[in-house]
Amino acid sequence: MNTTQSILNTAKNTIKLESKAIDHIAELLTDDFAKSVELIYNSKGRVIITGVGKSAIIANKIVATLNSTGTPAVFMHAADAIHGDLGLILKDDVVICISKSGNTPEIKVLVPLIKNAKNKMIALTGNKDSFLGQQADYILNTYVEQEACPNNLAPTTSTTAQLVMGDALAICLLELRGFSSKDFAKYHPGGALGKRLYLRVNDLSSQNQKPQVGLETSLKEVIVEITEKMLGVTAVIDNNKIAGIITDGDLRRMLSKSDDIASLKAKDIMSSNPRRIDENAMAVDAKELMEEFGISQLLVEQDGEYAGVVHLHDLIKEGII
């Protein structure tokens, strides 16, 4: 077997093994999972998630997912907790301890301190009979038969199981809260993802110039308007309403077909009933329209009247495309 095929086989086996482990932990869910979700949902405090080693890294990711979906969460490293950071835990906070074995030295020191403070504790562990499992109020079982590591040592399958269990918690809480795309946008204002959720057509078109001509505007004036406004297009307006559109392409096609251009007016060149969009529509809707009809610009309307132009380049600039 060549090296390439050997690498691919190892990758496929790893993925299949971890996929099988995820299917298995779905069968391990008990009422403790539902009670944990309800406990967090009804809590007046935050979710404190703790762990050591690779479990601490997974804890950080789960914290990030919870925070971004409407459940306040804080990461606390188990080793740091027993050296001063225990003060992070407030009266009404719910604590999730993540540990594959449930018997690590840090966890054995930390768990009694949490119990003494009377905070509710959820164990996310692969060993429900461990010290952590026995002390926790609720157990989320992430038992896996083996790691993907051929030596069954490096945390791989087990951390995948932890991650998936954390995602399941977050999504259940999201649904209980009725967390919408608008809520999601509030927590993700930056980057392309947030912009897809909150950026409106007017946010883009208002930054552009507003090319427009009348029905009787001469060809020369049309060319000047398109050139000066630098959007490759102009709207043709009649009583503040959109009557048509003239693009660079329309001009080129007209010039190639007509020998007598001196008398041409905007109404003779324009395309009637152009694609348009309301200024309050989402920018991502403009993207979909442009893709559907294979065009680079959309005319924008406000209360049925011409309001400007949104261009493909605007969407690219903002990361919508």
Q: Tens of pLDDT along 194-235?
A: 667 678 999 999 999 999 999 999 988 999 999 999 998 999
279 - beta bridge partners?
none
Could you give the percent of the chain with pLDDT greater than 70?
93
pLDDT tops 80 at residue 321: no
Mean pLDDT of the chain: 90
H or E segment to which residue 25 belongs: helix 3-27
Taking a C-beta distance cutoff of 8 angstroms, is the pair 320, 287 a contact? yes
The answer to whether the CB of 47 falls within 8 A of the CB of 93 is yes
Dig out the tokens for 212 from the structure: 């427009």
Quote the pLDDT of residue 185: 64
DSSP secondary structure of 154-211: SSSHHHHHHHHHHHHHHHHHHHHHT--HHHHHHH--SHHHHHHHH-BHHHHHTTS---
Q: Looking at residue 134, what DSSP letter applies?
A: H
Predicted TM-score (pTM) of the model is 0.68
Tell me: the pLDDT tens digits for 254-311?
877 766 777 788 898 898 989 999 999 988 899 999 999 999 999 999 999 999 999 9
CA distance 202 to 207: 8
Q: Which residues contact 172 (CB under 8 A, 6 or more apart)?
A: 37
- The total of other beta-carbon atoms located within 10 Å of residue 262's CB is 8
Where is 318: in which H helix or E strand? none
Residue 187 binned pLDDT confidence (cut-offs 50, 70, 90): low
- Cβ count within 10 A of residue 319: 13
Query: Which of 39-53, 105-119, 186-200, 235-249 shows the lowest mean pLDDT across its residues?
Result: 186-200
319's enclosing H/E stretch is none
Share of the chain above pLDDT 90, in %: 70
